[in-house]
């Protein structure tokens, strides 16, 4: 169970290898990788800057990871979230879950990214041709997180 | 009390953190936000719409009726947009 909040990029293959190396009880791993898109709300985005609340970010990510482990039988879980200035195509976030069976890996990974979006204290600012603007929270993200309110 | 501001609350108010002496009558988050509005026109503008001002006390998300005291670390921020 690992949470990393960092400005540097991450290597998905290396993280997968580190997570599964020597652990032959793992039957499947689900990986979600979030990327910076070059369009938002019909406007082109040339860069994105992520601000966060050091201390609280780690606490919130550790809490939702603990929640996932309480709900599903996981062998391991990993969340890496970047901050700072990123460009289209850059990786922002990695969520990885490992379990003996695929259902637990798929569901817990989906849960983690949905909950992370509404609970982890990150804020995105986009650079567009009209200048910089703070990204507004989406109602659809709240609805996606609410689906997981009840334990499976 | 230590107050932290993030994202557009930080840029509108113009500071990332400030230390305030809390009046005795300010006992919960809602009262604190109302009191902070009186500190400057920038505070009043940034905090005008409380539906988009979220609050954490000691790094936990809390509702507006949550109690606050002088030793708390209180953060004010817009709805989060990570992931």
| B14-73 pLDDT tens trace | 999 999 999 999 999 999 999 999 999 999 999 999 999 999 999 999 999 999 999 999
Give the predicted TM-score (pTM) of the model: 0.94
Quote the tokens at residue A17: 């290898």
Rounded-to-5 percentages of helix, strand, coil across chain A: 35, 35, 30
pLDDT of residue A151: 52
Quote the tokens at residue A133: 């603007």
The full set of domains in chain A, from first to last, is 2-134 (3.90.1170.40)
Residue of B nearest to A60 (CA): B60
Domain ranges of chain B: 2-77
Size of the A and B interface in Cβ pairs below 8 Å: 70
pLDDT of residue A149: 86
User: Residue A10 and residue B13: Cα distance in Å, rounded?
Assistant: 34
pLDDT of residue A152: 45
3-state secondary structure of B25: coil
Does A136 contact B at CB distance below 8 Å? yes
User: For chain A, which residues score pLDDT lower than 70?
Assistant: 150-152
pLDDT of residue A41: 85
What number is the average pLDDT over the span B64-83? 97
Q: How far is B64 from chain A (nearest CA, A)?
A: 17
Does B83 contact A at CB distance below 8 Å? yes
pLDDT of residue A62: 97
* Residues A41-72 pLDDT 10s: 889 999 999 999 999 999 999 999 999 999 99
The residue whose two tokens read 């499947």 is A28
B2-77 maps to which CATH number? 3.10.20.30
**What is chain A's length?**
152
Backbone region of residue B58 per phi and psi (left: phi > 0; alpha: psi in -120 to 50; beta: other values): left
**Dihedral Cα A140, A9, A66, A32, nearest 10 deg:** 50
Quote the tokens at residue A3: 């949470």
Chain-chain contact of A134 with B4 (C-beta, under 8 angstroms): no
Element holding A30 (H helix, E strand): strand A28-35
């Amino acid at each position: 169970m690992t949470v990393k909040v960092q400005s540097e990029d991450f290597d998905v293959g290396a993280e997968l290898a580190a997570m599964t190396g020597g652990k032959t009880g793992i039957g499947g791993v689900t990986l979600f990788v979030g990327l910076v898109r070059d369009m938002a709300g019909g406007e082109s985005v040339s860069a994105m800057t992520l601000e966060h609340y050091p201390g609280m970010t780690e606490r919130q990510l550790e809490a939702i990871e603990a929640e996932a482990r309480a709900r599903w039988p996981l062998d391991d879980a990993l969340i890496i979230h970047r901050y700072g200035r990123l460009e289209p195509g850059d990786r922002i976030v990695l969520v990885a879950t490992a379990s003996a069976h695929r259902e637990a890996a798929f569901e817990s990974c989906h849960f983690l990214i949905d909950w992370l979006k509404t609970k982890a204290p990150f804020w995105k600012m986009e650079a567009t041709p009209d200048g910089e603007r703070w990204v507004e929270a989406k109602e659809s993200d709240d609805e996606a997180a609410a689906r997981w309110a009840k334990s499976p | 009390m230590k107050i932290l501001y993030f994202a557009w609350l930080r840029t509108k108010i113009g500071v990332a953190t400030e230390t305030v002496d809390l009046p005795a009558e300010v006992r919960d988050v809602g009262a604190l936000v109302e009191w902070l509005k009186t500190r400057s026109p920038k505070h009043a503008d940034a905090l005008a719409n409380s539906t988009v001002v979220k609050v954490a006390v000691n790094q936990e998300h809390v509702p507006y009726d949550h109690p606050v005291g002088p030793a708390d670390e209180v953060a004010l921020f817009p709805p989060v947009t990570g992931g």
